[in-house]
Amino acid sequence: MTNTQSWDAGDLARRLAENAEAVCRHYLSAGRRHGNYWLVGDVHNTPGRSLYVRLHGGPDGRGRAGKWTDGATGQHGDLLDIIRESLGLLDFRDVADEARRFLSLPQPQPRPASDRGRSDVFGHDVSGLASGTADAARRLWAMSRPIAGTQAETWLRHRDLTRLTDLSSLRFHPDCYYRADADSPTETWPALIAAVTDVDDRVTGVHRTWLARDGKGKAPVAMPRRAMGDLLGRAVRFGAVSDVLAAGEGIETVLSLHEVMPALPLAACLSSAHLAAMAFPPTLRRLYMLRDDDPAGDHAVATLQARTQEAGIECLVLSPRLADFNDDLRYLGRGAMRAILHPQLAPQDVARFLHPVTH
């Protein structure tokens, strides 16, 4: 077999089984060895003992290395399945690429140009990938974990965001799959995972922010932010839907308001185009729009103002002093944020939402 040929599933599964303990230590790091088995909670690397992976085959040929069973769910498979489930991959090509990377095997030839070029709504190449679907997004969300004590928490605190205990729409994945384009090698980086939901709070997509290993910045990749799934009209939501809502583009931008207005429901729509197209909750009576100081933000303001007027919803624009509200928070502070917001709010919302700065 030449360096440009691909290994089939049987070859890869056998080679992974020959290194079963190393595979488990890498992809199921929350588990531990117990005799001839690796014990962990489930395929998503949850701590526990329900799932067991055989590390070596028996002398009589029974009990093949690399085979696993989850006693709680009845799931079973080989180490290729572990890679697929732990990283949230759906297309076997991506699973095989990751297995080759782990085993230091040569990667196959790039796929033909005719297989490339299909993009998602953000312009990211998803040719030949199943990872852009809402089902894939829900799977990634399910295998992610709370942000407390992770690089995701470090990243948010690095942006001066400290009210992090009730953000159920944010999770963390320690080894989130990343590939810049169809011909690039597979990488894994820690990532902040945000649930994109509709107005009925159903998860329809996720937004990923790949992070540096220490969490103090974004990962050094070409596009450290990407969304997947059904996104149009949806948002990353903080707080229950009510008669008043504040909506903006970026997650860190809207969370900056959460620092001084923690009771105000918020929505991060992830781009100016999606902000302009956001779906209105049926109970909404007043919308605050967080304007980014750029032409795209101005266009979103004009579009939303026309849509809210037609829907009978009051629309008020909140403008930052600097480029966005996270810049205001980081460089001007919470007291200044409160002073900036106070005159822009409806009078009845000042007492309702604008809390005094206590930290």
Sheet of 286-290, strands arranged across: 236-238, 266-268, 244-248, 286-290, 314-318
Least confident range from 198-207, 322-331, 347-356: namely 347-356
Reported as a pLDDT band with limits 50, 70 and 90, residue 60 is very low
> What is the model's pTM?
0.66
What per-residue confidence (pLDDT) applies to 59? 56
Cβ-Cβ contacts under 8 Å for 181 (sequence gap 6 or more): 116, 125
User: Over 90: is that where the pLDDT of 292 sits?
Assistant: no
Encode pLDDT of 252-272 as tens digits: 999 999 999 999 999 999 988
DSSP state of 113: G
More confident residue, 205 or 126: 205
* AA letter at 128: G
Whether residue 77 contacts residue 71, with contact meaning beta carbons closer than 8 Å, is answered with no
What mean pLDDT do residues 7-30 have? 86
d(Cα 313, Cα 333) in Å, to the nearest integer? Answer: 31
Q: Which pair of structure tokens corresponds to residue 15?
A: 């080679």
> Does residue 219 carry a pLDDT above 90?
yes
pLDDT of the residue at 356: 63
Q: What span, in angstroms and rounded, lies between the C-alpha atoms of 129 and 118?
A: 10
Q: What is the pLDDT of residues 122-133, one digit of tens each?
A: 223 333 333 467
What pLDDT sits at residue 254?
Answer: 97
Average pLDDT, the chain: 85
pLDDT, average across residues 145-154: 96
Least confident of 31-35, 115-119, 217-221, 224-228: 115-119
Q: What is the distance between the alpha carbons of residues 222 and 220, in angstroms, rounded to a whole number?
A: 7
Report pLDDT digits (tens) over 333-346: 999 999 999 999 99
Give the model's pLDDT for residue 110.
54
The strand pair at 68-70 and 37-40 is best described as unpaired
Amino acid type, 117: G
Q: Which residue has the higher pLDDT, 217 or 323?
A: 217
Provide DSSP, 128-186: T-STTSHHHHHHHHHH-B--TTSHHHHHHHHTT----TT-TTEEEEEEEEE-SSTTSPP
For range 243-249, the mean pLDDT: 96
| Pairing between β-strand 266-268 and β-strand 244-248 as defined by DSSP bridges | parallel
- The arithmetic mean of pLDDT across residues 147-176, rounded, is 96
The pLDDT, as a whole number, for residue 349 is 96
More confident residue, 285 or 230: 285
In 3D space, the residue among 296, 317, 318, 315 whose CA is nearest the CA of residue 307 turns out to be 315
Higher pLDDT among residues 114 and 197, named by residue: 197
CB of 253 closer than 8 Å to CB of 326: yes
Tell me the backbone φ, ψ of residue 67, rounded to 5 degrees: -80, 145
Per-residue pLDDT, averaged over 208-212, amounts to: 96
Confidence check: pLDDT of 121 > 50: no
| Residue 130: predicted pLDDT | 35
Q: Which has the closest alpha carbon to 188: 231, 219, 165, 166?
A: 219
Structure tokens at 306: 């026309």
**314 pLDDT exceeds 50?**
yes
Rounded to whole angstroms, the Cα distance separating 267 from 141 reads 18
